[in-house]
Amino acid sequence: MNELSGKLSAIEAEASASLPSVKSAEDLKVFKAKYLGRNGLVTDLLKMLGSLPAADKPDAGKQINQLKEKLLSKIGETESKLQSLSLDEALKTGVDITLPGRVFSEPGRLHPITQIMQKVQEIFMGLGFSVYEGSEIETDYYNFQALNMPPDHPARDMQDTFYVCQTSDVRRQTSEELLLRTHTSPVQIHVMKKFKPPLRMIVPGAVYRRDADVTHSPMFHQVEGLMVGDGITMGDLKGVLTEFLHQMFGAKTNVRFRPSFFPFTEPSAEVDIQCVICAGKKTLADGSPCRVCKQTGWMEILGSGMVNPKVFENVGLDPAKTKGFAFGLGIERVAMLKFGISDIRLFFENDLRFLGQF
C-alpha cells in the first residue's frame, strides 16, 4: 500500500510540475493521454488493481480515483484558461474593430420618382400653385375632344391609347369610350369647368401609353401645369418655367424655348435645358460623344404653350378675355436626367440594389 501511495504522489508531483508547460490544446491532449489515456500512468495503476489482495482493493481504488479526479479537474481548468487566452489573442489580432457593424434591417425610403414628384410640387407651391388631382380613367371627351383633338387625331390611335370599355347612358342614348388617360391635360378641362379664373394649378399623376422601350414605359408620371387669368402672356410662361428649371437643376442651367405644336395650346413651345451630362459641351471629359443629348448639348424636358382659344370655348370661358398657359412635365425624364439613369424600366423593377441608392 505504501508503495502505491508513493507512486501516486510521484505521479501527482510530476503532473503538477509539467502543467505550466501546457500552452495549447495540443499540449493538453498529450498531457491528458500521458496520465489518463488508454496506456496512461493512472490508467495502468487502475489496471493492476485486480492483482492486489482483496483487502487492499477498496482503499487502493479510492486513492487512484482521487488522483484521477484531481487530474481531471486540473485538465478542465487548464482547458478553459486556454480558451479565454485564445479569445484574447483573436481580439488582439484577428478582429478589426473599425469595420462597420452588420446592418440587418434598413429603414424604407421614398422611391426616386416620388422624391422628384415631391420636389416639383414643392417648387410650384412656392410659386403660388395649388395641387389638384384627377382620375386615371377618363372619357374620350376629356382626354381628347375637349383638348381640341378631333376623332381623327393621330394621338388617339390604338397604338397609343389603352381603351378600357364603352360606357352607355341608356336614358340619354349615348355611349362613350373609357380609356386610361394618355396625359394629365384632361385635368385642365375638369379644373376650368369647376373653378373660376384666376387659376394656378399643378396636377401630378400617372398616365398610360402603349409604348415600351428604354426611355418609354406604358405607365409613367406627369405634372400638368395651368395658369389662367387676365393678361397672362408667353412672358409669364417663360418666367415661371425658367424659374422652375433653375430651382430643379441649378440656377446656372441654360434654358431654351423651341416652337412646337400641341392641339390644345397655341402658340406651343418645347422647353430644353442644357445637357446635364456633358454640360452642353456635346462631348464628355474623355472626348467621347455625349449619347444622352445625342451631341446636341440640349435635352427636351417640357411641353408647353398658351391655352388654345378653342379649349377656353369648350369650358365656357371667353377666349377674348381669358388668357393662360399650360405645360406638361415628364417626371421619369426629370429623374433620369437628375440621377443619370439611362433605362426607364429600372424605376419599375423594384430591385432593392437600385432603389437603395436614392
d(CA 96, CA 90): 10
Contact between 143 and ligand PHE by CB under 6 A: the answer reads no
Q: In angstroms, what is the minimal distance from the CB of 102 to ligand PHE?
A: 47
Q: In angstroms, what is the minimal distance from the CB of 233 to ligand PHE?
A: 16
Q: Which is nearer to ligand PHE, 32 or 183 (CB)?
A: 183
User: Residue from 275, 327, 331, 347 that binds ligand PHE (CB under 6 A)?
Assistant: 327
Q: What is the CA radius of gyration of the chain?
A: 42
Contact between 326 and ligand PHE by CB under 6 A: the answer reads yes
Q: Which residue, 195, 181, 190, is CA-closest to 144?
A: 181
User: Residue from 78, 185, 217, 253 that binds ligand PHE (CB under 6 A)?
Assistant: 185
Cα distance between the two ends of the chain? 85
Task: Report whether 262 contacts 237 (CB < 8 A).
Answer: no
Positions in 204-233 near ligand PHE (CB under 6 A)? 224
Positions in 265-304 near ligand PHE (CB under 6 A)? 265, 303-304
Amino acid 85 reads L
Q: In angstroms, what is the minimal distance from the CB of 211 to ligand PHE?
A: 12
d(CA 142, CA 123): 27
Query: Using CA of residue 57, residue 60, residue 63, residue 68, what is the dihedral sign?
Result: negative
How big is the site for ligand PHE, counted in residues (CB under 6 A)?
A: 11
Q: Which is nearer to ligand PHE, 31 or 325 (CB)?
A: 325
Q: Which is nearer to ligand PHE, 134 or 328 (CB)?
A: 328
Q: In angstroms, what is the minimal distance from the CB of 284 to ligand PHE?
A: 30
Q: Which is nearer to ligand PHE, 40 or 303 (CB)?
A: 303
Query: Using CA of residue 297, residue 302, residue 307, residue 311, what is the dihedral sign?
Result: positive
Task: Report whether 256 contacts 301 (CB < 8 A).
Answer: no
Q: Which is nearer to ligand PHE, 74 or 183 (CB)?
A: 183
Q: In angstroms, what is the minimal distance from the CB of 157 to ligand PHE?
A: 14
d(CA 73, CA 3): 25
Residue nearest to ligand PHE (CB): 328
Q: Which is nearer to ligand PHE, 78 or 185 (CB)?
A: 185
Q: In angstroms, what is the minimal distance from the CB of 223 to ligand PHE?
A: 10
Q: Which residue has the cell 487548464?
A: 78
User: Residue from 328, 331, 334, 347 that binds ligand PHE (CB under 6 A)?
Assistant: 328
Task: Report whether 271 contacts 242 (CB < 8 A).
Answer: no
Q: Which is nearer to ligand PHE, 218 or 250 (CB)?
A: 218
Q: Which is nearer to ligand PHE, 112 or 305 (CB)?
A: 305
Q: Which is nearer to ligand PHE, 208 or 327 (CB)?
A: 327
Contact between 40 and ligand PHE by CB under 6 A: the answer reads no
User: Residue from 183, 221, 323, 333 that binds ligand PHE (CB under 6 A)?
Assistant: 183
Contact between 262 and ligand PHE by CB under 6 A: the answer reads yes
Binding site for ligand PHE (CB under 6 A): 183, 185, 224, 262, 265, 303-305, 326-328
